[in-house]
């Protein structure tokens, strides 16, 4: 029996939300594991910085500015990545936003914006990546959901975000069966509270110390904590894993 294949060598990946936080840590980590990484994020974000970080460590990377809510942006990004780095077989969709408002007062525009970026943006990313992988003979997609797909976060007024993340988990299961017979695995990773710019928002920053105490492992996550489980799901070591939501939350949801 041979050892499980955790390597990502000779593969090309797309990572959305790659300029910041969790997406950035994943882009850097999977490049270290051998993948060539196409970094995607909004115009004006630090795409140059993350690409330079990967290249300075001896990895292969390129960057493309795109808005995940715009279908043609993602189609163009995938095409450009394939042109520059080769046919894609890996993708991580980490782009996302968060904010808060009481449900009874939440303006429709606020609800729709979060659903657009956090759910429709993941669908459009999967669609562009999935079409490329169907042409290329298969691949592995990991969507970054959240433990908010499983719990309603105590104290956080974010019905829109929680709903979008639950949608991301079920989208993953839906795509997993649609594409299974054609060689594409689709899973999600659901982080717990993670130290990134997103959790520095005023409504969350002050609560982070309390969340750490509420976590069985006694701390909040660093972005790097999320990268290992994502790399596992991307790799051939997870060849029989599809349609799964992997909680990476230090045990937060067990009590």
Binding residues for ligand NAP, total number by CB under 6 A? 29
Residue 161 appears among annotated catalytic residues: yes
* Residue 87 in contact with ligand NAP, rule: CB under 6 A: no
Kindly write out the interface string for residues 170-209 of this chain, putting x where it contacts ligand NAP by CB under 6 A and - elsewhere.
---------------------x-xx-xxxx----------
Contact present, 251 and 217 (Cβ < 8 Å) = yes
Bridge partners (DSSP) of residue 88 are 12
Q: Minimal distance in Å, beta carbon 116 to ligand NAP?
A: 8
User: Looking at beta carbons only, is 115 or 180 nearer to ligand NAP?
Assistant: 115
* Residue 68 in contact with ligand NAP, rule: CB under 6 A: yes
Q: Minimal distance in Å, beta carbon 91 to ligand NAP?
A: 14
Q: Minimal distance in Å, beta carbon 199 to ligand NAP?
A: 5
Binding to ligand NAP (CB under 6 A) within 103-122 occurs at: 117, 121
* Residue 21 in contact with ligand NAP, rule: CB under 6 A: yes
User: Looking at beta carbons only, is 67 or 132 nearer to ligand NAP?
Assistant: 67
* Residue 230 in contact with ligand NAP, rule: CB under 6 A: no
Q: Minimal distance in Å, beta carbon 210 to ligand NAP?
A: 14
What is the number of the residue whose Cβ is closest to ligand NAP?
A: 21
User: Looking at beta carbons only, is 1 or 109 nearer to ligand NAP?
Assistant: 109
> Over 167-188, what HEC string results?
HHHHHHHHHHHHHHCCCEEEEE
- Residues with catalytic function: 161
């Amino acid at each position: 029996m041979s050892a499980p294949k955790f390597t990502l060598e000779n593969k090309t990946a797309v990572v959305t939300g790659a300029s910041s936080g969790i997406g950035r840590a994943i882009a850097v980590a999977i490049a270290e594991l051998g993948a060539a990484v196409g970094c995607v994020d909004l115009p004006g974000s630090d795409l140059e910085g993350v690409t330079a970080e990967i290249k300075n460590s001896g990895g292969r990377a390129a960057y493309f500015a795109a808005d995940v809510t715009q279908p043609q942006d993602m189609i163009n990004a995938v095409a450009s990545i394939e042109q520059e780095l080769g046919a894609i077989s890996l993708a991580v969709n980490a782009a996302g936003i968060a904010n808060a408002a009481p449900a009874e007062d939440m303006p429709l525009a606020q609800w729709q914006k979060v659903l657009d970026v956090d759910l429709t943006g993941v669908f459009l990313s999967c669609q562009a990546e999935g079409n490329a992988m169907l042409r290329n003979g298969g691949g592995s997609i990991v969507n970054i959901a959240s433990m908010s797909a499983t719990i309603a976060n105590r104290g956080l007024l974010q019905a829109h975000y929680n709903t979008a993340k639950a949608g991301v988990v079920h989208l993953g299961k839906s795509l997993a069966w649609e594409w299974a017979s054609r060689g594409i695995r689709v899973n999600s990773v659901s982080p717990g509270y993670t130290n990134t710019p997103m959790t520095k928002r005023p409504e969350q920053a002050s609560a982070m110390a309390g969340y750490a105490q509420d976590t069985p492992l006694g701390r909040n996550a660093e972005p790097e904590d999320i990268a290992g489980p994502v790399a596992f799901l991307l790799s051939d070591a997870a060849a029989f894993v599809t349609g799964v939501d992997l909680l990476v939350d230090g045990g937060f949801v067990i009590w």
